[in-house]
Amino acid sequence: MTGYYEPLSYVVPPAEDGIMLKTILHDRMKLSRKLLSRLKLTAEGITVNGERRYTTSRVRSGDVVEIRMQEEESDDILPQDIPIDILHEDDQLLIVNKAAGMIVHPTHGHYMNTIANAVVFHWRQAGRKVRFRPVHRLDRETSGVLAIAKTPYAHQHISAQMQANGVDKTYVAIVHGRVREDSGTVDEPIDRDPASPHVRIVTPSGYPSVTHYEVLERLGEAATFVRLRLETGRTHQIRVHMNHIGHPLLGDAMYGVSPEREKTVAGEPLDRHALHAARLAFAHPADGRPVAFEAPLPDDMARWLDLLRRGGSGSGGYLE
């Protein structure tokens, strides 16, 4: 028998006495039309003081409006016992620190060893029925904070914040060369490369894309450690924008220096691009309070920084 996720509640304040229930659902609880239509068809989807109501009915001060969503599972994702670094979990969200090298969701040819397989296993072990809903994606080689919604409402709520530029997405990266300006903004449209659909390029006909960067540390002439904040979330945006201004990410075989030109450091090869999702902040879907989640710099990037600090722009650096 299908159960329900924990209900979300809203207590009608005196100032909203007499307004329509649908106003509460749309404007206060921020339900999308799609989710509202779905809840209308659910036995206990929408209640006021524990009773079903038409959305055109009026509510009174002190009424408790609740929405309940039916439990779902990702039946197409095989659970797999893979360790994951959980930063936070509650009834609405699971926040993980994604390891570099892991794909977020199974794709053609990669059905196992993904974040999804690990998360589904975690929920099955806890006896929870939850569908895997990543709110955003990180490239396979990118490490750091990844938000996963545990309910349709949480997914819709955070997605709406992203579309309204209400989510703070902060990354850190190590890029080639010495970035001269202490801070700057790359405001250049991005779209697919017609010659290679998997590659993105800066093009006048592309989608608006904005990346802000700030220098954290200059590592001689060889490289620079930077903090980046996204206003938009285009595929490969940071990698494309930093390459566009002449500072591709270290280890980025697609947009950066070719692997045969990129040196190892103390015999250690760069096996991924040096990009880490350091922080994610937004309004929590349950009650609107601001929340922020951070993932520490991973060991490999910390090691590269240390080697660059000691090597400078000489033989210990990454560039020829």
| 232-264: pLDDT as tens digits | 989 999 999 999 999 999 999 899 866 555 655
* Sign of CA pseudo-dihedral 262, 268, 272, 278: negative
Q: Does 32 fall in a domain? A: yes
The answer to whether residues 175 and 90 belong to one domain is no
Structure-model confidence comparison of residues 318 and 115, the more confident one: 115
What rounded mean pLDDT belongs to the chain?
A: 90
pLDDT tens sequence across 71-94: 888 888 999 999 999 999 999 999
In the sheet with 8-11, reading across from the earlier edge strand, the strands are 8-11, 64-67, 46-48, 51-52
Exposure string over 243-265, b if 16+ CB within 10 A, otherwise e:
bbbebbbbbbebbbbeeeebeeb
Structural domain contains residue 80? no
> In the listed set 19, 37, 67, which residue is the last one of a domain according to the structure?
67
Q: Which residues contact 314 (CB under 8 A, 6 or more apart)?
A: 220
Q: Kindly state whether residues 261 and 174 are assigned to the same domain.
A: yes
For the stretch 177-188, pLDDT in tens is 999 999 999 999
Is the same domain home to 154 and 62?
Answer: no
In a domain, 319, yes or no: no
| Tokens found for residue 225 | 């450690």
What's the farthest any 2 CA atoms get from each other in the chain? Answer: 74
- Determine which helix (DSSP H) or strand (DSSP E) holds 22, and give its type and residue range: helix 21-23
Summarize the confidence of residues 291-317 as an average pLDDT. 82
| Distance (Å, whole) CA 87 – CA 70 | 26
> What's the pLDDT score for residue 265?
57
- Distance from chain centroid for Cα 69: 23
Scored b (16 or more CB within 10 A) or e, 41-60 reads: eeeebbbbeeeeeebeeebe
The residues annotated with a catalytic role in the active site are: 139
Whether the Cβ atoms of residue 105 and residue 159 lie closer than 8 Å to each other:
no
Range with the poorest average pLDDT among 33-47, 92-106, 206-220: 33-47
Q: pTM for this structure?
A: 0.87
Name the more confident of 35 and 264: 35
CATH number, domain of 56, equals 3.10.290.10
What's the pLDDT at 1?
A: 43
Q: Please determine, for residue 312, whether its predicted confidence score (pLDDT) is greater than 60.
A: no
Rounded Cα distance between 232 and 212, Å, is 10
Query: Minimum mean pLDDT among 212-226, 256-270, 275-289: which range?
Result: 256-270
| Domain tally, the chain | 3
Q: Tell me, what amino acid is at 192?
A: R
Q: Provide the b/e sequence for 296-306 (b: ≥16 CB within 10 Å).
A: eebebbeebbe
Q: Note the pLDDT tens digit of each residue in 131-164.
A: 999 999 899 999 999 999 999 999 999 999 998 9
As beta bridge partners, residue 291 has 282
Residue 318 lies in a domain: no
Same domain? For 208 and 292 the reply is yes
Do 172 and 122 share a structural domain? no
pLDDT, residue 313, reads 42
**201 and 299 both lie in a single domain:** yes
* Shared-domain flag, residues 246 and 210: yes
Question: Last residue of some domain: 108, 134, 163?
Answer: 163
* Parallel/antiparallel/unpaired status of strands 143-149 and 133-134: antiparallel
Domain span holding position 35: 8-67
* Whether residues 228 and 297 fall in one domain: yes
CB 37 within 8 A of CB 84: no
In a shared domain, residues 257 and 201: yes
Residues 182 and 307 in one domain: yes
163, 190, 205 - which closes a domain: 163
Look up the CATH number of the domain holding residue 103. 3.30.2350.10
C-alpha 122 chain-centroid distance = 19
Is 114 contained in some domain?
Answer: yes
What is the per-residue pLDDT for 320? 40
User: Which of 3-7, 38-42, 279-283 reaches the highest mean pLDDT?
Assistant: 279-283
What pLDDT does residue 210 have? 97
pLDDT value of residue 267: 58
pLDDT above 60 for 315: no
In a domain, 210, yes or no: yes
* Residue 320 included in any domain: no
> How far is the C-alpha of 269 from the C-alpha of 249, rounded, in Å?
14
Give the pLDDT mean for 119-123.
Answer: 96
- Output the six-digit token pair for 156: 């819709």
Task: Tell me whether residue 77 is in a domain.
Answer: no
Residues 32, 136 within the same domain: no
- Between CA 188 and CA 263 the distance in angstroms is 30
111 plus 149 within the same structural domain = yes
| CA–CA distance, 263 with 255 (Å, rounded to integer) | 16
Q: Identify each DSSP E strand in 39-126 by its residue range.
A: 46-48, 51-52, 64-67, 85-89, 93-98
Q: State the pairing for strand pair 93-98/143-149.
A: antiparallel
**Which pairs from 28-32 meet CB under 8 Å and 24+ separation?**
29/65, 29/67, 30/156, 30/157, 30/160, 31/67, 31/153, 31/156, 32/156, 32/160
Tell me the CA distances in angstroms from 244 to 122, 208, 211, 254, 305, one per residue in order: 40, 15, 12, 13, 23
Mean pLDDT of 53-64: 94
- What pLDDT score does 2 carry? 62
Percent of the chain with pLDDT over 70: 93
